[in-house]
Amino acid sequence: MFNQTLYLMEMTEMVDNTIKRLQIERPTFKIYTTSIWTDPDAAVSSINFDSKENSLKKVAESNNWNKKYYDQYLAEGDIEQAELFKPNQYTRICNPADFELRDFEQVSHQSFSEGWESETEGECWTEIEPALIEIGNYAFSKIKELNIEDGFELAINSNEDWYDKTWPLP
């Protein structure tokens, strides 16, 4: 069973602890991207931060790796395969595992049990997604007041991707 009230308390506490830690431990860190994810099978959530410098570096590394395959498939005339390796023009990485401050703060949930996603064959997302969106709204309102980079964006995960619904600065 999912205890939404407890989940929201756990997540709000994680966000609040994160802000305190950032202000003390990393006061000059400029936040370009924030990712908050919940893994319903592991019963764990995490908040992750990336800088623009790290994001640009990771995008360049990815593009360099992709370019050799893109060029190879183009040379072979396989346009369809080449498109899969086409370098991108993005400045933001969207994989929290590659963020500069990945898993900056984590919470082990008491609000639901491990294996929830497997046990419900993914149906758990109908309950957890609205609560995660609520936490995204809460975190965005708090984090946008910190030391943020132009182009700042916050994202939460979904059953589709680790980086899905976003809150960009206008």
pLDDT tens column, 134-162: 999 999 999 999 999 999 999 999 999 99
Do the strands 101-108 and 44-50 form a parallel or antiparallel pair, or are they unpaired?
Answer: antiparallel
The least confident of 12-16, 69-73, 89-93, 110-114 is: 89-93
Q: Does position 84 have pLDDT exceeding 90, yes or no?
A: no
Using CB atoms within 10 Å of the CB of residue 168, give its burial: 0 to 12 exposed, 13 to 18 middle, 19+ buried. Answer: exposed
Element housing 142 (H / E): helix 125-143
Q: Does position 107 have pLDDT exceeding 80, yes or no?
A: yes
User: What integer pLDDT is reported at residue 170 of this predicted model?
Assistant: 81
Please provide the size of the chain in residues.
170
The token duo for 167 is 């809150």
User: What integer pLDDT is reported at residue 7 of this predicted model?
Assistant: 98
Average pLDDT of the segment spanning 19-38: 97
pLDDT tens column, 110-127: 999 999 999 999 999 999
pLDDT tens column, 38-76: 999 999 999 999 999 999 998 888 777 778 888 888 889
User: What integer pLDDT is reported at residue 27 of this predicted model?
Assistant: 95
pTM (two decimals): 0.87
Q: What share of the chain is helix, strand, coil (3-state, %, to 5)?
A: 45, 20, 35
User: What integer pLDDT is reported at residue 79 of this predicted model?
Assistant: 86
Q: Does position 101 have pLDDT exceeding 80, yes or no?
A: yes
User: What integer pLDDT is reported at residue 97 of this predicted model?
Assistant: 94
User: What integer pLDDT is reported at residue 122 of this predicted model?
Assistant: 95
The token duo for 86 is 């086409």
User: What integer pLDDT is reported at residue 71 of this predicted model?
Assistant: 80
> Residue 50: which of 153, 144, 170 has the closest Cα?
153
User: What integer pLDDT is reported at residue 88 of this predicted model?
Assistant: 74
The token duo for 154 is 């916050």
Q: Between these two residues, 12 and 60, which has the higher pLDDT value?
A: 12
CB 154 within 8 A of CB 140: yes
3-state secondary structure (DSSP) of residue 92: coil
